[in-house]
Amino acid sequence: MKKSNFRTGIVLLIMGFILTSVRFVLLEYSQLPGFESGLFFGAGLGLEILGLMTTP
Amino acid sequence: MDNSNELQEIWKSVSLKELPESREMIDLIHNHRNKKLKNFLLLILSSVFFVATMIWVIYTSASFNIIARIGAVLMLISCLILLATNFNSFQRFYNLTACSNKEFLLFLQQTKKRRLFFYKNTQLVLLIFCVTGLFMFLTHLIARNLTLAIAVYAGYSVYFLVMWFYVRPKVYKKGIQKLSRSIEKVERIALQFENNNS
């Protein structure tokens, strides 16, 4: 097996795991009060960190 | 003058064996390009993921007031600025194919200038939109739970001040120092090649 194929496989596996986790969290916790605000705030902070820590 | 001539002689007499070969230089440029392209791609994908989450939250929930929604639009604008900047840089690095040492040097120098411009202008605009957007979005908390709203505002303000006055200049300085070292290295190699060829 090529090294690049192996890497791609690992990346896809991790992405699948993340997406499954996100789906699980959304289904389980979306009824909690403040969940949506927290999600939005988290995404906003993530975006802000990307803008702060990266350089073109 | 004698000293200067001697120095020139010493400079020219340095063996080329210690310098990287042209193949190595091409690999160096290629690796640098690929690494940066990967970073830009990851950044673009992450930004899209974050903004998609925000849009999804705003459209699926009817409980947010108009100020919170305007805040969300401001966040969206900041994301578009970030995407445009990084897409532009992605294209710049994508077009960097095999080039001479001098061309690579010019490319690195231009990168340095772009970083300074981003630090002084683009990043400011981006963060003004982002921070104002988040502050506006959080206004909906005031009506729901005042104590929580004050705690979140205070926590976010402290976090932002630390990021703005400590992390941001540090990250910029570190990046510029690294880039300056690379420029110096490529400059030295280009000059030595030139002197030995003349």
Would you call B115 and A55 a contact, using CB atoms and an 8 Å cutoff? Answer: yes
B181 Cα to chain A: minimum distance (Å): 17
Given this model, what pLDDT does residue B1 score? Answer: 46
Does the beta carbon of B138 lie under 8 angstroms from any beta carbon of chain A?
yes
The full DSSP string for B19-88 is SPPHHHHHHHHHHHHHHHHHHHHHHHHHHHHHHHHHHHHHHH-S---HHHHHHHHHHHHHHHHHHHHHHH
Predicted TM-score (pTM) of the model is 0.73
Closest residue by Cα to residue B60 from A40, A42, A44: A40
Q: Cβ separation of B138 and A41 shorter than 8 Å?
A: yes
**Interface residue B112 vs chain A (CB under 8 A):** no
What is the sign, positive or negative, of the torsion defined by CA atoms of A34, A39, A43, A46? positive
Q: What is the pLDDT of residue B173?
A: 92
Residues of chain B with pLDDT under 70: 1-22, 98, 196-198
SS3 category, B164:
helix
Chain B contact present for A41, CB below 8 A: yes
Residue B137: its H or E element: helix B123-137
Report the gap between the CA of B146 and the closest CA in chain A (Å): 14
The CA-CA-CA angle for residues B167, B172, B174, to 5°, reads 95
For residues B24 and B57, give the distance between their C-alpha atoms in angstroms, rounded to a whole number.
49
Is 60 exceeded by the pLDDT of residue A52? yes
Torsional class of A34: left (φ above 0), alpha (ψ -120 to 50), beta (otherwise): left
Whether the CB-CB separation of B123 and A51 falls below 8 Å is answered with yes
